[in-house]
Structure 1
Amino acid sequence: MVKNAFILLVLAVLLTACESSRINVNKHSEWQYILPEEDYVVTATGYAPIQTQLGQDKSTKMIKAIKASKLDAYRELTEKVYGHKLTGDTRIADLVLGNESIKTSVRGVIKGARIVKTYQLDGIYVTELELNLRDIYRIGAFTNGQSKAIKARYL
């Protein structure tokens, strides 16, 4: 019994003596991001009629048309970047074409787009957007690790 207690005491002393100490190492790294050679700019244009907007006066209709044309431009830009999801349904009875329907939807997140121009033209409000896909690639390379280390040194 005393022998077991002595062995446990020695093990406890040895384990506390073997406690590891941390060493702080400062590392400085320089990275090169792998980017496409050229810019690839995608543009989109959104339209909204001013007179058909809901509102009591002309300025309210104008503000709503501005917002609607901006959303339409973003929708078109999203379609160009991510594409459409199409769902079709055709019904045939007795080899005769019956009802036919097509549904489309767009889903995506657009970051980094900029408004190039907004203007009114013949009762329609127009918004022009552009998105440089090289900038999107740069953001993805930074966040997803699509890069290579070109220099690393320990301080």
Structure 2
Amino acid sequence: MEIRIARPEDTAAVAEVHIAARNTYYDGHVDAAVLDRRAAELRGIYRDIPERFNRKLWCAEVDGEVAGMALTGPPMNWLGPWVGQLHQIHVHPNHWRKGVGTALHETCVEAWREAGVTVGVLEVWSSNDRAQSFYESHGWRPDGHTRPGPGDTTYVRLRRTII
């Protein structure tokens, strides 16, 4: 497995990883038509993410195929220059439970350390037990902030000290 900054030619594969993962965890919770519309949007968004939003787009490559991705950058809500946000980690469902997410996570945390970031934040969908478990096992804890999610759910903000 190789973890690296995504290149422009990776962005289509990165978008497909994101779409496959989110369609799996939203299955049965979000209308298929809504997922399809968002998938079309994501395919366009990923072409411009790193340059347009001052973020780092990471990818995990396994056997020449993009199997996972992570996106880091400044927090959506200004929390200070020492805070970084893990906007997302997505692993293609065919690669779940194979260490791809952990490798991406470790790379993001190490990049933050090198940049002087001391606090990380992220948001996780309240109905995504798999993701919540993953982040908890890597030291993330809820900080009390939530925002509305699909239907009657929320997104929960998690926080972690970077040491």
Which has the bigger relative contact order, CA under 8 A and spacing at least 6? Answer: 1
Structure having the larger proportion of residues in helix: 2
Structure having the larger proportion of residues in strand: 1
Q: Into which bin does the TM-score normalised by the smaller protein fall?
A: under 0.3
Larger radius of gyration: 1
TM-score by length of 2: 0.25
